[in-house]
Structure 1
């Protein structure tokens, strides 16, 4: 609705770019980071780092790894500036290095997995490594009290009774 509203209000002079492009359909990690997740930041990294470096460096894999390193440094800055958590800085940086290395391996191997299997492998990898990047959010004691999940604790939502066979 927002995309349509922006186009109507500006008479097609401006469009609102979507934040994601169905990341659950990613068939590879390169597809996830390059074409599906966080499109605004991906566009900024592509236009400000990847494309200018491609004029000087011929290897696209090295340029991609440098781009992941810069993205990792940005995220480390957020961890240090917002959360003041020096213990999570290294793991956050390693998350992006690891994802960059795996993306380079995917590009080098050139294997295209079928849609359901590729999506499963991609998201299992992301779930296994996500704690490296967002662990500081889950360990922060005040995070969930300040950022309460939507509809948490609402009384008007019907709740099923807990079965008697469940341990207390």
Structure 2
């Protein structure tokens, strides 16, 4: 709608998220690309410049995303549990990506690799 109104072309908001073959791919390349680039600039890149390990930068990025998603719950006067749930959702995504990074190399070596890993 905005593109038609302003006669502008905007990059796609998403990149076929259902085609993701991993959690990391979903978040890095396919979901909410504009916001994702902002949180990378606000959290991941500064952490990397400080020399922090990649996984610490990842956790910082998802923690920031959790705060950004939890904040509206608090502003709206909703229960802290709701805000905490939003925060935990994104913190868990960082955990899942870390677990996935450890499991994928192992899964690729199993006979079920063609089924489990693409």
Deviations 1:88-146 (A, max 9, x none): 122211111111111122234444676x8569xxxxxxxxxxxxxxxxxxxxxxxxxxx
Aligned equivalent of 1:79: 73
Q: Does 1:103 align with 2:97?
A: yes
Give runs of ≥4 in structure 1 deviating > 4 Å.
116-119
Q: 3-state DSSP class of the match of 2:8?
A: helix
Q: Counterparts of 1:1-168 in structure 2 under 5 Å?
A: 2=3, 5-7=7-9, 16-82=10-76, 84-111=78-105
Structure 1 unmatched ranges of 5 or more: 8-15, 120-168
Q: TM-score, normalised by structure 2?
A: 0.77
RMSD across aligned positions (CA)? 2.7
Report the CA distance shift for 1:76/1:55 in structure 2 as closer, same or farther (over 3 A). same
For 1:50 and 1:67, the matched residues in 2 are separated by 5
Query: Larger Rg: 1 or 2?
Result: 1
Q: Which has the higher contact order (CA 8 A, sep 6+)?
A: 1
Q: 3-state DSSP class of the match of 1:6?
A: coil
CA-CA distance at 1:40 after TM superposition? 0.8
CA-CA distance at 1:86 after TM superposition? 2.3
For 2:20 and 2:77, the matched residues in 1 are separated by 30
For 1:34 and 1:82, the matched residues in 2 are separated by 30
Structure 2 unmatched ranges of 5 or more: none
Paired residues of 2:104 and 2:117 also in contact (CA < 8 A): no
Aligned equivalent of 1:143: none
CA-CA distance at 1:83 after TM superposition? 6.2
